Amino acid sequence: MFKKRNTRPARLLLFFVAAFLCGFAVANLDEEIGIDMVRKAGRLFGFHFSQNQLELMMPSVRVHMQSVEALREASVDNAVPPALVFDPVLPGIEMPVKGLESRWMIPDGVEMPENTGQLAFYSIPQLASLLRSRKVTSEQLTTFFLNRLHQYGDTLECVVTLTRDRALSHARRADAEIAAGQYRGPLHGIPYGVKDLFSVEGYPTSWGATPYKGQHLEHTATVVERLDEAGAVLVAKLTLGALAMGDVWYDGKTRNPWNLEEGSSGSSAGSASTVAAGLLPFAIGTETLGSIVSPSTRCGVTGLRPTFGRVSRTGAMTLSWSMDKIGPMARSAEETAMVFDAILGPDGKDKSVVDAGFYYEHDRDISQFRVGYISAFFEDDPGGKDPDHQVLADLRAMGLELHDVDWRFDSPVNALRIILHAEAAAAFDELTTTGRDSLLVNQSVNAWPNLFRAARFIPAVEYINANRARYQLMEEVNQLMAGYDVIITPSFGGNQLLVTNLTGHPCLVVPNGFTETGTPRSISFIGNLFEEDKIMALASAWQKKTGHHKQRPPFFDPSLH
């Protein structure tokens, strides 16, 4: 797990001061750390120490720097978590009961379309019906989607690796099991893809970044193993923005199927793009701060960011130990529920995962749901045509009473971003200290290489205090959420995306129309911790009424060609 680095250790404080005074110029590593250097470093962080205080500090400062050098002698793998584990569960929060099995509606009588290309946009329940009745085999379906990925993958720049051999082997096994009456459930025989930050034995895992291109991690991520157990068939590893930011990866920019001149957003770029274009029925993405919500919005798919600690991250690249979350991306709320049901729960490896129940009921009664909406995040709509306001009108027409939510908190929300930046810089410490960060394609002000370097200026004390302020925010949000089953908000309204990613609350993002330029828009359903079932139930009922999720990007629609 640990190995000696073949790099010359640097003194952390010397690096701080040299960076501050010289614009990250290379410092003389042999220079002795002196009082004047420490004085200037202190001023950088707002402290003005007296001469006597500085003299007293110097022995401890030098010991701290020796400790930093010792730590840098050991290289810690990205997969190794810190001893401290983030837990979003506050005292008094009750876990959902376990033992209830979700009820899925697999329709009878689904027939193969005359134009087999129409299978591209069949739902998971429709495909499951065809597979269960043996009107199509998993091998045929897998070959169909592999061909779609091969045909359009370059157009969308959405595929890193096709897992063809593994896929066909698993598809044939699924066919044999279904023929023998060993039906595993609605995902049995269904092809899917994963973001290429999940390890799969026998295949490279690039994390979307040049320094890791061709990297082989010879173990399979828990989420892939869970889907194997459900009988699903992995057919592709999909693009992500380098190290889980944006849609630019080492070999291109993933495209929005609705507008090929536009990126798909990220970082779950390929996961959203392939599902929207009918190249896959569903895919797995991850979110730290918008990486499911944003590409789902841009590409017009339904994405679930579950409660923090719902799905094991074993085998997934780490960006932030206290904020990373794994979730499904599909075409409807009910389909995300089917996938979520298969991947949730502890694996005995990821210590952050909570063993809580999940129960989804098709056509659940939502009439008694307490629903709020954050009016401050909805734009004025005098004409009544804004898609976000139309969602509220739809819900009222469904008989629901909506209550205005005051989404204001005392905690310094924006300042808490330093938690993500500090953890991400730690996760990729070796990339920065070896200078390999220069290999990343994006070197802009807001790209990871620069943010990793800047994060060296976040003091450890402030990182800890930020997490204390985060705890206060968790208390505030949980107190507010306790009054509601679901809260509705524009997906990028105000600070709710940052807030709920910090507190670990679940969010289901669903398409609700288009911008004036024809790009999809979305609305978000936020729930209480571990109450994904409620946001799915409400969103599913709304989707059945409106049908926005059934829209298809014309270029990829087989019925138009």
Interior angle at CA 151, CA 150 and CA 153, nearest 5 = 65
Q: What is the pLDDT of residue 201?
A: 98
Length of the chain: 561
Structure tokens belonging to residue 477: 């949000």
Residue 212: pLDDT band with limits 50, 70, 90: very high
Residues classed as catalytic: 195, 267, 291
Q: Where in the chain is the domain with CATH 3.90.1300.10?
A: 116-348+364-407+470-552
Task: Give CA separation, 374 vs 97, 345, 492, in Å.
Answer: 30, 31, 12
- As to burial, measured by CB atoms within 10 angstroms (0-12 exposed, 13-18 middle, 19+ buried), residue 482 is exposed
Q: What is the pLDDT of residue 382?
A: 60
201-205 mean pLDDT? 98
Q: What is the pLDDT of residue 21?
A: 36
List, in order, residues 6 or more apart from 541 with CB less than 8 Å away.
364, 366, 398
Q: What is the pLDDT of residue 384?
A: 57
Percent of the chain predicted with pLDDT > 90: 88
User: pLDDT, tens digit, for every residue of 276-307?
Assistant: 999 999 999 999 999 999 999 999 999 999 99
How far, in Å, CA of 171 to CA of 168, rounded? 5
Interior angle at CA 374, CA 285 and CA 365, nearest 5 = 70
Q: What is the pLDDT of residue 115?
A: 96
> If we measure between CA atoms, which residue out of 75, 418, 423, 39 comes closest to residue 16?
39
Q: What is the pLDDT of residue 33?
A: 84
Q: What is the pLDDT of residue 532?
A: 98
User: pLDDT, tens digit, for every residue of 341-353?
Assistant: 999 999 999 999 9
pLDDT at 360 over 90: yes
Domain 116-348+364-407+470-552 classification at class level: alpha beta
Q: Are 258 and 520 in contact (CB under 8 A)?
A: yes
Residue 65: pLDDT band with limits 50, 70, 90: confident
User: pLDDT, tens digit, for every residue of 144-185?
Assistant: 999 999 999 999 999 999 999 999 999 999 999 999 999 999
Structure tokens belonging to residue 190: 């269904």
Task: Give CA separation, 390 vs 383, 397, 522, in Å.
Answer: 11, 10, 12
Residue 29: pLDDT band with limits 50, 70, 90: very low
Please report the DSSP string for 354-391 in residue order: -------BTT---TT--EEE-GGGSPP-TTS--HHHHH
pLDDT at 10 over 60: no
Find the farthest-apart pair of alpha carbons in the chain and give their distance in angstroms, rounded. 86
123-152 mean pLDDT? 98
How far, in Å, CA of 352 to CA of 33, rounded? 40
pTM of the predicted protein model: 0.92
User: pLDDT, tens digit, for every residue of 450-502?
Assistant: 999 999 999 999 999 999 999 999 999 999 999 999 999 999 999 999 999 99
Q: What is the pLDDT of residue 31?
A: 56
How far, in Å, CA of 427 to CA of 421, rounded? 10
List, in order, residues 6 or more apart from 77 with CB less than 8 Å away.
1
How far, in Å, CA of 72 to CA of 437, rounded? 17
Q: What is the pLDDT of residue 16?
A: 43
Please report the DSSP string for 427-460 in residue order: HTHHHHHTTGGGGSS--STTSHHHHHHHGGGS-H
How far, in Å, CA of 239 to CA of 99, rounded? 36
Q: What is the pLDDT of residue 172?
A: 98
Q: What is the pLDDT of residue 561?
A: 82
Cis preceding linkage at 291, omega within 30: no
How far, in Å, CA of 38 to CA of 498, rounded? 35
Residue 70: pLDDT band with limits 50, 70, 90: confident
How far, in Å, CA of 179 to CA of 233, rounded? 17
Please report the DSSP string for 152-190 in residue order: HHHHHT-EEEE-HHHHHHHHHHHHHHHHTT----TTTT-
Q: Which of 47-51, 57-61, 153-157 has the highest mean pLDDT?
A: 153-157
Structure tokens belonging to residue 520: 């999809």
Q: What is the pLDDT of residue 454?
A: 93
Give the β-pairing of 371-373 and 402-404.
Answer: parallel
Q: What is the pLDDT of residue 72?
A: 82
Percent of the chain predicted with pLDDT > 70: 94
Range of lowest pLDDT (13-17, 44-48, 320-324, 431-435):
13-17
Torsion of the alpha carbons at 453, 457, 462 and 463, rounded to the nearest 10:
20
Mean pLDDT of the chain: 93
Q: What is the CA radius of gyration of the chain?
A: 25
pLDDT at 214 over 80: yes
pLDDT at 197 over 50: yes
How far, in Å, CA of 503 to CA of 481, rounded? 11
Q: Identify the residue whose tokens are 């968790």.
A: 474
